[in-house]
Amino acid sequence: MAPETLKPPVAAALCNSVPQNSPQLCSLARCDATVWSKFSFPYLHAATYISAMTTPPSPSPTEPHADDRTSLNIVISECHKLRELIHNSSKLFPDLRAPLVRQIQAELDHLSRRLQSPHSDSPLCSNLGYLSAVCHVIHHPSIQSVSGVSKHVGSKTESIHVDIMCSFRRDPSWVFVSDRNPSYVSWVGSPGGKDKGLRDRVETAIAAANEAGSLRPNKLLFVFARGLEEDVRNKFLHEFGAVESDFADGLEVVFDEMDDEWLGISDDSKRLLDYKAFEIQISGDPGENVTIDETMAQVELDLCSGFDWSSSKTSPGNDFLGNVINFDTTALIAMVSGISNGDAKQLLEAPPEKMREKYKSNYEFVIGQAKSELEQPMLEEVNTILAGKKGITCQSALEEFKELVSKCGGPAEKDRASELLKKLIVVPDNPSQRVMNLQTTGKVDTKNKIIFGTGDRWHAPTLTAKKNVVRAIAQTGMSLLTIVHRPRALTGL
């Protein structure tokens, strides 16, 4: 799990705040029978946090509702932490954070109103568990390129709720998250038909996926944060050919220091390791069975001293990117730029008048990149991603790169370009059909669709500085594997 996951759930704190014999607790326990909302099973109730507690001292007679208020304040505090986590998430564009932030704010408003009416006899219910589970899944290392959060897919009259649209282990995927008590997850639903069973909901999801056009996922991922009962699990596997995913694979297990210097798995990590996930394959555009030619199989991204990627340490989540990286034109330029290869200090120390004359309207752009490079070298970041990978670039990107280097590159940059191309595999332009089906716009133009689509055909993330293009594609709802780096320009040095 990414290091920015939530602190251990509020369970432990609530265990010391709500008396086990509280009449309010009896009401809470009944809340778990609430019907699932849409498909995402969003309701987790405060009762789920307090199932394993011991009985604390009785509340003061002068403050009959002190424990209830304490419970509410704890849940409100956790909501604030969750909202902060979403705001700071590097995995979500701002427009993708908005749906979760709105839901958290609605939860805070509800809890705040309840705090003002502590004498209410109605059950205390909260979405916090569900929202936390969605956030945990988003930050799972194998979840990449999130393009949709809390999306309704289909017509106004017939739609399903998809919690996360993303790439899961390099496959375009829709993710459905449940934090429901397994005892209330039934296979066939209630006799009256008010609560659809899991089977009907899975059938609806499969049908919607098959009718989604260019947004059609390759797989559906169902995540049950509190597990599934064995009989429901078996029916899920056998009737739909689902495969139980090793969702714990790649998670970062956090240890807490315990007594006598022993270490134990943190409560938060235990919760994540208990997640159960199931994959259902959706037949999509399989593309070509593209393979790297055997004569190129030994080529590694180990260039000159400035491009020594084979010795770099891999970053967390690197393995989930596969073994091939697709370079677009901006990535190729950044790899050979003088700014990222030791000339940043020289550019900043040169007389400003000379630099303005050389770069004209691009002066501020180049100087800004040079300052950024000295503060945080770009290649150091990229090297951890490229370590152990093989690089490809398509014909269109290659031609554009050669033209730019020829016109704007300096002697050293041209030498580095020649070395770089010796270490990359040039593949034909062969974009995936789903990317080519995207509407052509100013940002998502034909050339970008060809370059990014060729990476998609290879199931390879595209390394790019075109953040605006990546965002424009994500706004269509399509999940496309990309790695965004900071831009670097050719300097002529």
pLDDT in tens, 102-141: 999 999 998 888 888 766 666 677 888 899 999 989 988 8
Q: Work out the angle at residue 317's Cα, subtended by the Cα atoms of residues 334 and 448, and round it to the nearest 5 degrees.
A: 40
Whether residues 274 and 413 fall in one domain: no
Question: How far is residue 201's CA from residue 491's CA, in Å, rounded to a whole number?
Answer: 56
The amino acid that residue 126 corresponds to is S
Pick from 294, 289, 319, 306: nearest CA to 425: 294
For the chain, the domain total comes to: 2
Distance from C-alpha of 94 to C-alpha of 79, rounded to nearest angstrom: 19
User: How far apart, in whole angstroms, are the C-alpha atoms of residue 274 and residue 441?
Assistant: 44
CATH number at residue 349: 3.40.50.1010
Which of 222, 246, 281 is where one domain is finished? 281
Q: In terms of domains, do 231 and 331 share one?
A: no
Condensed to tens digits (0 to 9), the pLDDT of residues 339-355 reads 999 999 999 999 999 99
Compute φ and ψ for 430, nearest 5 degrees.
-155, 70
Determine the average pLDDT of the residues in 404-413.
Answer: 94
Whether 212 has a pLDDT exceeding 60, the answer reads yes
Task: Give yes or no for residue 7 having a pLDDT over 60.
Answer: no
DSSP structural state of residue 308: B
Question: What is the reported pTM?
Answer: 0.71
Confidence label for 16 from pLDDT (cuts 50, 70 and 90): very low
Q: How far is CA 300 from the centre of its chain?
A: 28
Q: Which amino acid is at 438?
A: L
Q: Which two tokens stand for residue 321?
A: 């990117």
* Cα 170 to Cα 172: distance, rounded to the nearest angstrom: 7
Closest CA to 137 of 13, 280, 250: 250
Residues 322 and 396 in one domain: yes
One domain for residues 140 and 244: yes
Euclidean distance between CA atoms 10 and 78, whole angstroms:
7
Q: What is the CA radius of gyration of the chain?
A: 26
Q: Is the dihedral angle over the CA atoms 67, 69, 72, 74 positive or is it negative?
A: negative
Window from 34-38, 334-338, 421-425 with minimum mean pLDDT: 34-38
Given a cut of 50, whether residue 234 has pLDDT beyond it is yes
The pLDDT of residue 201 is 92
Distance CA 7, CA 132 (A): 10
The predicted pLDDT at position 23 comes to 30
* Residue 94: inside a domain: yes
Q: What is the pLDDT of residue 220?
A: 96
Residue 58, amino acid: S
Same domain, 263 and 344: no
Is residue 493 included in any domain, yes or no?
no
Pair (323, 459) in one structural domain: yes
Domain extent, residue 384, equals 294-484
- 400 and 254 in one domain? no
205 and 343 in a single domain? The answer is: no
Q: What average pLDDT does range 215-235 have in this prediction?
A: 93
Single out the residue in 281, 315, 350 at which a domain terminates.
Answer: 281
- Rounded CA separation 145/92 (Å): 8
pLDDT digits (tens, 9 = 90+) for 461-478: 999 999 999 999 999 989
Dihedral (CA of 118, 124, 125, 129) sign: positive
- 35-39, 113-117, 332-336, 392-396: least confidently modelled range: 35-39
Q: Is the backbone of residue 150 left (phi > 0), alpha (psi -120 to 50) or beta? A: left
Predicted confidence (pLDDT) at residue 96 exceeds the cutoff of 80: yes
Higher pLDDT, 67 or 466: 466
Per-residue pLDDT for 299 more than 80?
no
Whether residue 71 is contained in a domain is answered as yes
What's the order of all strands across the beta sheet hosting 462-464?
A: 424-427, 390-394, 324-327, 462-464, 482-484
Token digits for 11?
């369970």
Cα 167 from Cα 147, distance rounded (Å): 9
pLDDT(198) > 90 = yes
Final residue before a domain boundary, out of 281, 304, 322: 281
Report yes or no on 1 lying in a domain: no
Structure tokens at 202: 């899975």
Name residue, tokens 């979405």: 127
Q: Pick the residue with more confidence: 488 or 39?
A: 488
CA pair distance 215, 464, nearest whole angstrom: 22
Q: Between 428 and 124, whose confidence is greater?
A: 428
- Provide, rounded to the nearest whole percent, the portion of the chain with pLDDT above 90: 48
Same domain, residue pair 253 and 299: no
What lies within 8 Å, CB to CB, of 445 at 6+ separation is: none
24 within a domain of the structure (yes/no): yes
For residue 109, tell me if it sits in a domain: yes
Higher pLDDT among residues 50 and 114, named by residue: 114
- Closest C-alpha to 146, from 161, 123, 164: 164
Q: Which residues pair with 426 in a beta bridge?
A: 393
Check whether residue 309 and residue 199 sit in a common domain: no
**How do strand 159-168 and strand 390-394 relate by DSSP bridges?**
unpaired
Q: How many CB atoms lie within 10 A of CB 302?
A: 15
pLDDT digits (tens, 9 = 90+) for 349-375: 999 999 999 989 889 999 999 999 999
pLDDT at 260 over 70: no
| Average pLDDT estimate for 449-466 | 95
In a domain, 286, yes or no: no
Q: What pLDDT is recorded for position 291?
A: 56
Find where tokens 């995402």 sit: 40
Considering the domain architecture, whether residues 261 and 304 belong to the same structural domain is answered as no
The verdict on residue 17 lying in a domain is yes
Task: Say yes or no: 264 and 335 in one domain.
Answer: no
- Per-residue pLDDT at 438 exceeds 60: yes
The SS3 assignment for 4 reads coil
| Mean pLDDT score across all residues of the chain | 78
Q: What is the DSSP string of 173-242?
A: EEEEEE---GGG--SSB-TTSSSB-HHHHHHHHHHHHHT-GGG--SEEEEEETT---HHHHHHHHHHH--
> Which residues are CB-contacts of 94 (< 8 A; sequence separation ≥ 6)?
none
